[in-house]
Amino acid sequence: MIMKELNEIIKAYGKAILQNKQVALVTVVRVDGSSYRRPGARMLVTDDGKITGAISGGCLEGDALQKALFAMATGENKLISYDSAGEDDIQYGLHLGCNGVVHILFEPIKKDDQQNPVELLRLISNAGEDAMLVTLFSMKKIQPGTSLLYLKNVIHSNLTKPLKDLLTEQINTAYAKKQSSFLDVDIEQTTCTAFIEYIERPVSLVIAGAGNDIQPLVEMAATLGWLANVVDGRPNYATPERFPNASKVICSRSADILTKIKTDNQTVFLLMSHNYNYDLVFLSHIVQQEFGYIGLLGPAQKRDRMLSDLNDQGIQLNEEQLSKIHGPAGLDIGAENSTEIALSIISEVKAFLAGKSGSPLKLKKEAIHNRAISPAS
């Protein structure tokens, strides 16, 4: 699930509760074949028909709204399957445009339950860490729903101990691989499927530089739900007013940046200060710890000069480190102005973190989405 959507759902839920509205969480729990959204896509529906989030490209939301209102009225979880390859798709006017079956779970939310699905999502959002969320469903009447959260080595769940123990083993495997999985389990003499969902923490950017060209970059990052930390040594540039959607804006010497921001082996660093020495000092500190990606603004000659200067300082990089350094940063999309350059850089970062090439989808021979993750049989 995209962290930005998760946060929007949490915000909408809080507002709905204050207004004493009923709500339901709608989740794509399984897809057989092709679909616009994959398992883990969610939307929140209120009893006055307001929708936050999305489970499709717009073709399912209308019908799902009615099903969500019905689930609120009955107070029971419900599973609905939409078959875009079947005649019902045409009959009901859905016209999904895909060739697959989408299984969607509807969960009316009990606001007094401190472990209801949205409260579990809130825990994930507040922690800012990778998490595993388990949603149980079946093709029969029993629909346990969102039932377990694994976060910071702690399990939040009201499931029985034997079932938690069984799920924990699969959770640990999926967590280590950083991917979602499915597992069949028996509940009340009914075979249910556990959708064990890997929810990745938001991408964290550390941007060295607070010039005007950084502003569209921060805006794009915020749109994606990424955390953008802007740092610069110039107090008249590094101000929250200039970057209202940044996670943090810090005025600092480059040598002190890492003492002011929490980073890890997935942090993305972008060196865009237009000050060679500022960027070089920062780079010399970054490469001596774990990092996910380093982007250098400027031509290849600047990159080579910086790496040569690091070598003169006795800082030698291995092949793995060098593979994570991108200079010039960005994809070749013909970018000219600062907004286009920001798009180029954001696109490359997204592709790199996803392990993709950034090549045109029309050249892709296999399915766009990974279909290796399928229900256990």
pLDDT in tens, 269-302: 999 999 999 999 999 999 999 999 999 999 999 9
Domain ranges of the chain: 3-199, 204-353
* SS3 assignment, position 19: coil
pTM across the whole model: 0.83
pLDDT in tens, 105-120: 999 999 999 999 999 9
Write down the pLDDT at residue 376. 37
| Distance of alpha carbon 103 from alpha carbon 92, whole angstroms | 16
Question: Which token pair is 311?
Answer: 């070598």
Q: What angle do CA 198, 186, 154 make, to 5 degrees?
A: 40
pLDDT band at 99 (very low <50, low <70, confident <90, very high): low
Residue spans of beta strands (DSSP E) within the chain: 23-33, 42-46, 51-53, 78-83, 100-108, 131-137, 145-151, 154-157, 181-187, 190-199, 204-208, 227-232, 248-251, 268-271, 293-296, 325-326
CB 1 within 8 A of CB 41: yes
Phi, psi of 23 (to 5 degrees): -140, 160
pLDDT in tens, 151-202: 999 999 999 999 999 999 999 999 999 999 999 999 988 899 999 999 999 9
* SS3 assignment, position 190: strand
| Distance of alpha carbon 228 from alpha carbon 205, whole angstroms | 5
* Beta sheet of 23-33, edge-to-edge order: 51-53, 42-46, 23-33, 100-108, 78-83
Superfamily of domain 204-353: NAD(P)-binding Rossmann-like Domain (3.40.50.720)
Residue with tokens 């070089």: 280
pLDDT in tens, 139-154: 877 899 999 999 999 9
Q: Is the pLDDT of residue 36 over 50?
A: yes
pLDDT band at 90 (very low <50, low <70, confident <90, very high): very low
pLDDT in tens, 16-35: 999 999 999 999 999 887 67
Question: Which token pair is 97?
Answer: 């445009």
Q: What is the pairing mode between strands 293-296 and 268-271? A: parallel
For residue 118, count CB atoms less than 10 angstroms from its CB and return exposed for 0-12, middle for 13-18, buried for 19 or more: buried
CB 27 within 8 A of CB 107: yes
Average pLDDT, the chain: 91
| Distance of alpha carbon 199 from alpha carbon 297, whole angstroms | 31
CB 351 within 8 A of CB 341: no
Task: Indicate the helix (H) or strand (E) that contains 91.
Answer: helix 87-91
CB 291 within 8 A of CB 265: yes
